[in-house]
Copies of this chain bind each other. A is one copy, B any other.
Amino acid sequence: MITRMSELFLRTLRDDPADAEVASHKLLIRAGYVRPVGPGLYSWLPLGLKVLRKIEGIVRDEMTAIGGQEILFPALLPRAPYETTNRWTEYGDTLFRLQDRRDNDYLLGPTHEEMFTLTVKGEYSSYKDFPLILFQIQNKYRDEARPRAGILRGREFLMKDSYSFDIDDDGLKNAYHAHREAYQRIFARLGVRYVIVSAVSGAMGGSASEEFLAESEVGEDTYVRCLESGYAANVEAVITAVPESIPLDGLPEATVYETGDTPTIATLVEWANGAGLGRTVTAADTLKNVLLKTRTPGGEWELLAVGVPGDREVDDKRLGAALEPAEYAMLDDADFARYPFLKKGYIGPKGLLANGVRYLVDPRVVDGTAWITGADEVGKHVVDLVAGRDFTPDGTIEAAEVREGDPSPDGAGPLVAARGIEIGHVFQLGRKYADAFTADVLGEDGKPVRLTMGSYGIGVSRMVAVIAEQQHDELGLRWPAAVSPFDVHVVIANKDAEARAGATELAADLDRLGADVLLDDRSASPGVKFKDAELLGVPWIVVVGRGWADGVVELRDRFTGEKRDVAVDAAATEILAAIG
């Protein structure tokens, strides 16, 4: 196929769009791949759509290879199934809701667990029907609070979502690993640099979960990894390396001190270092107790205290993930007023536990660790309050911030932080949705078996931006051959009629040999054409220029910038051989 730029619906822009922040967004707009239609809403122009479809094709190919069967749901869905799983409410403002002419409630599907579960329940009835993997490639809708960075986080976006259905945990594990490997093949074919990180469930519920993050400084997801061992996890999923517990024998007694006006960690540490305790105290020696209230869906609010070393903040994302699916909120002044035993700035484990407040601590608060913390009276703190001796918390919680340099949970070395863009998610849902819809089939023994599920997503439209983000250079886009809108970009940079005719013939030869050719036959100057070729990012550029008179054309590698002359006589075959 030959596409003539003189006829192609394309206008490149010289300047970056005013509201674009990240390189992929700027370049995809400048190169005429996409256009904004509204916040988080984009149209795909011809070149952008070609890249999108190629990515979609690779994803479909690998999903089919692991036995996935493609089906397709509506994007417009009735409320009832999402009411059953409570996601109609849980999704909050992120869900696009609407009503039809009869005032019935509908939503635009953000993800389709409910529909797939109901469909499998509707069609299948026996253990013999499993394992089963179904997938769709479909527009999803999420009303993001801050749609950003172009198609990196749109409000309408193309996603591949698949779901595995099995009758036992082994089946689920097989499906999970098949997906994990398929995703590795997909991202390899797309030429994406990525890491697989341990993840927690978010709003989806369930157990084992990993995210595929494309390495990118503009990513919204922070993750940490241990360079020594390869351990990687997103911040929500980092498991704190737990120090060994300390024998209680011989530890100093807990002592309550008048500490004056010391409601903050800083003032407390300052007091401690002036109090003649015989050692240097840092914030890490103090135990900060943060008061929250939590509520399970439909339940009552109840108090929760979280104890973390005073040198660390509570990380909202980690806290939220740890409490999922319960809601939580910080205590406000009115709440404090309601519980007079809570002395703000002086709250300690003993008062909390004595008053029946659920008390969870950072995993570093192991038995035998001694803390400086509140003594439950204004102006008083306790020193050497020992966990496991003076107080026993109700459990631990992964809520403290993760910092670079923290030890990796596998003990192999320190953690380093990086940013990434979520491109895939594999997730053992388990029986959450099957329970919600009583998705049972007849087992081998004639008794009902509850199905177990996995859910697996790839952001297909997002991949266009991710590849642009990772591969671009200062001149423009650069597409790996597998997703490039064209195989080769032939630039006519010579006004001579014979050269023009020769270029057209060369394009025809390349086409005949199976290449998808973009032919720049416009009347623009060579300079303009070269700039556009660099901006558009087809991996191989053939310049029919001055060398024509000497019987050569120039072949440029857009990735390396290398140029070499190729004899016109055998140009088509030689070019195709070069570009693979």
Contact = CB atoms under 8 A, between A and B. Distances in A.
A interface secondary structure, majority = mixed
Nearest to A157: B74
B41 A145 contact: no
Contact of A44 (B38, B52, B71, B76): B71
Nearest to A1: B64
A487 to B, nearest CB: 18
A14 to B, nearest CB: 14
Contacts of A156: 74-76
A500 interface: no
A183 B49 CA distance: 23
Contacts of A93: 101
A456 to B, nearest CB: 16
A97 to B, nearest CB: 7
A122 B139 CA distance: 25
Nearest to A10: B123
B155 A42 contact: no
Contacts of A94: 101
Given A35-B122, A71-B49, A100 B143 contact: yes
B124 A11 contact: yes
A94 B100 CA distance: 9
A9 interface: yes
Nearest to A71: B45
A353 interface: no
Contacts of A67: 7
Contacts of A141: 76
Contacts of A100: 96, 143, 155
Q: Which A-B residue pairs are the 3 nearest by beta carbons?
A: A98-B98, A93-B101, A44-B72
Interface of A: 7-11, 32, 35, 37-38, 41-46, 49, 52, 67, 69-78, 93-94, 96-98, 100-101, 106, 108, 115, 119, 122-124, 132, 134, 139, 141, 143, 145, 155-156
29 contacts: A9-B69, A9-B134, A10-B123, A32-B123, A37-B73, A38-B74, A38-B76, A38-B77, A38-B78, A38-B106, A41-B76, A43-B71, A43-B72, A43-B73, A43-B119, A44-B72, A46-B69, A46-B70, A46-B71, A49-B70, A49-B72, A52-B72, A74-B156, A75-B75, A76-B155, A76-B156, A93-B101, A97-B98, A101-B145
